[in-house]
A and B are shown apart, each in its own frame.
Chain A
Amino acid sequence: MKHRHHLLLGLMLALAAGTATAGEFVALRMRVTANGHELLSARRFQAPEGTSQGWNTHSDHPLAWQMLDGRGQVLSQGTVGDPRVLRGPLEPGGGHAIVVRPTAEYFLRVPVDARATDLQLQPLARVSAAQGSRPKALQAQGEGAGLPPQRLDLRGVMRGPQ
């Protein structure tokens, strides 16, 4: 890839190393393609007490994430919907149409934790094949098979520039 986006450097500066405080989070802007997940940028923010519970999304097609420390211990975890899946409106007698896109951008919101080293993303299923009785999916061209688990380095985001 010819382009190497150096957004993260600026973002690390913006995020600046600091101690985790209650209600402090990082929004991770992510992209998923057939090749896996990519961290595009990050942004730190404060959230009112308890609101983070609302970010876990139930879904037929979940994407589970865990934030791990250097020993592989889970520091926090959550679930969002498979960002590739777009659901059409419920039509009388017709149900939803499901579109599985080859690439999608999404956000994860994780608590600031200086102990965090990795973001682990669980495999995304191949939506049409694994969901035998789900609505007929409109497979978007280029959609990959189920993606393997993946780990992304979070140290720069959590600790700022070394």
Chain B
Amino acid sequence: MLPNSVPWLRALLRACAACLFAALAACGGGGGGTSTEAVTPVATPTAPAASAAVPPASAASAATASLQVDWPPVPFDVSPDYPFDIRLYAIGGDGKETWAVKCSAHISCAVEEGPKLVVTSRAEAQPVEAAITLTVTDGQGNKGSKTVPITAWPKSLKVTSLLGAPDRPGIHLLILNDGFLPGDMGLFRDAADGVLKELFDRPEIAIHRDAWNVHVAELVLLDDVTGQAKASTLGARLGCYGTLSPIICFEEGRVKRAALAYLPHYSSIVLIVNSTTVGGSGGSGVAAITRQPKSAEVAVHELGHAFAGLADEYINQGNTPPYQEFNSPNLTLKTDRNEIPWRHWIAPDTPLPTPVNALTMAPNFVGLFEGGGYVSNGIYRPTYDSFMGASSKLLGPVNAEAWALSVYAKGGAWRRVAPAVTTTLARSEQPAGGWLFEAQPLLGRAIAETRWYVDGVERTDQRGAGQLLLPATGAVQVRVDLVDLTGLVRLDQGVVSTLKWTVP
């Protein structure tokens, strides 16, 4: 990119480029040897709306010397689902422009009235870095041309489920890769396995493993001409905020577009970058890590934030406490036993705040430890240390409860519910055999159990059942609670989900 401070140089180069293009065009070239689409001239309409949006063609003699295609400076992707459609503009024309387009093998393109460019992907199996060459010619014969890269996404991409299946209820973790060439996919799969191992080697997480679906997509961006794999598909790189910074940056839109194209109902994304340096980043629903084995801990810590809603428990700044209560289950400003969010985990004889000693430093000892949320005093955390303070540590009971509640809240409670709980049940529509209420838990009965209530009274004979049949009853209220049996959830006596039906 040339600096704006040397406009003469830009003008000179533009003029040279125009000459070069003209020479190529005279030789029958004009866009490189990879194009497959026919050139389709389309006249620029003179409709007021269109011409109003085009930069004014005043001082035409000066302007036409540098006729340019005005293409926005943002990367463009094209999905196979629908045509990509963008309005075309020229800078410096005389208002009588015509357009032509050439595009490479993995996309089809045409200029239609508007004028607008319509592009559709032809990629198969893997994304392809393709190119479009646009040429604009004005009424005086001046030409401008621009070749722009575009990523063509394929209709289907091989997504392999390491756990569960794409169409199964539950939590869907999608693991994507960047920087892995086809021959490196074994390294990617090893790193993905490492994330699963880091996740499910923690017993508090593993106990609800059946609620998880984990998928990997082996992405490789292919060069349109050579068919060779490009170095990066998703633009991931280390050092984007300083050479020594371990923060991973990536083209976020491209990462999520890939996820939406192939697993649109994903819950969280882990992006594994082909680097052996420890690094990572989190936020916006993507945990980026490298394949360095310690980086898998970064992914689990980030899921602690994004999936379980947990706050950082470490201390690294000053001593000014925050001015309002945290909205996280693992930090509080409260010191009154009855107000502490995790009071159901604190033994009656535990002093509050809790002093640090050999007993209270035990991993599962729950109390009220001062410091957390980056500051040293005025704020309290539940355990002496945990994985939200240092990634390698254990979850601790309070964080494990928050994680378990998130499993149920984020899709892991039920695999089938009928009738829909949002439906008002009309008494006149009661089936001949009576109402059949169905609530099938996603997890097995050893993990979670149903408790059915009819007008507030538990049907103990139906404990653990997935259905309740009620013969003709008239008005009735039916409720089913799902109770976690793992011991990880103490809040609300372990009730993790409730469904209600009312027949008025």
Contacts and interface: CB of A to CB of B under 8 A. Distances in A.
Contacts of A54: 171-172, 267-268, 410-411
A117 B253 CA distance: 25
A57 B285 contact: yes
B246 A60 contact: no
Contacts of A45: 260, 264-265
B308 interface: yes
Q: Contact size class for A?
A: 35 or more
A52 interface: yes
A87 B298 CA distance: 11
Main secondary structure of the interface of B (DSSP, over half): loop
A83 B284 contact: yes
Interface in B192-214: none
Interface residues of B, number: 81
B247 A97 contact: yes
Interface string A47-81: 11111111111111000000000000000000011
B245 interface: yes
A56 B308 CA distance: 11
- Best-surrounded residue of A82, A89, A109, A134 (most CB of chain B within 10 A): A89
B317 A133 contact: yes
Interface stretch (A1-9, A118-126, A147-155): A1-9
B433 interface: no
Interface string A108-119: 010000000000
B89 A3 contact: yes
B264 A109 contact: yes
A135 to B, nearest CB: 6
B316 A94 contact: yes
A89 B246 contact: yes
Contact of A49 (B169, B247, B409): B169
A57 B171 CA distance: 13
B390 A27 contact: no
B306 A59 contact: yes
Nearest to A48: B169
A53 B264 contact: no
A2 B245 contact: no
Given A49-B415, A51-B172, A14 B82 contact: yes
Interface in B414-430: 414-417, 420
Nearest to B375: A133
A6 B76 CA distance: 13
B311 interface: yes
Contacts of A99: 241, 247
Nearest to B165: A48
B252 A104 contact: yes
Contacts of A91: 246
Interface string B272-298: 000000111111110001000001001
Interface string B400-444: 000000000111011111001000000000000000000000000
Contact of A89 (B87, B168, B295, B375): B295
Contacts of A138: 241
B101 to A, nearest CB: 16
A51 B412 CA distance: 8
Given A2-B70, A29-B253, A86-B249, A136 B317 contact: yes
Interface string A127-160: 0000011111010000000000000000000000
B280 to A, nearest CB: 4
Contact of A53 (B87, B318, B410): B410
A106 B255 CA distance: 10
B168 A48 contact: yes
Interface string B92-131: 0000000000000000000000101010000000000000
Nearest to A45: B264
Contacts of B89: 2-3
Interface string B373-388: 1110000000000000
Contacts of B79: 43
Nearest to B81: A14
B284 A85 contact: yes
A55 B70 contact: no
A95 B264 contact: no
Contact of A132 (B249, B298, B323): B323
Contacts of A6: 85-87, 114, 116
B391 interface: yes
B302 interface: yes
B301 interface: yes
A57 B327 CA distance: 13
Given A88-B246, A88-B281, A99-B247, A135 B252 contact: no
Given A50-B411, A105-B253, A81 B283 contact: yes
Contacts of B498: none
12 contacts: A4-B87, A5-B87, A45-B260, A46-B265, A50-B414, A60-B328, A81-B284, A86-B284, A87-B305, A88-B280, A89-B289, A89-B298
Interface of B: 53-55, 70, 72, 79, 81-87, 89, 114, 116, 118, 167-172, 241, 245-247, 249, 252-253, 256-257, 260, 264-265, 267-268, 278-285, 289, 295, 298, 301-302, 305-306, 308-312, 314, 316-318, 320-323, 327-328, 373-375, 390-391, 409-411, 413-417, 420
Interface of A: 2-7, 9-11, 13-14, 22, 25, 27, 29, 31, 43, 45-60, 80-83, 85-97, 99, 104-107, 109, 132-136, 138
4 tightest CB-CB pairs across the interface, nearest first?
A58-B309, A54-B267, A105-B253, A47-B265
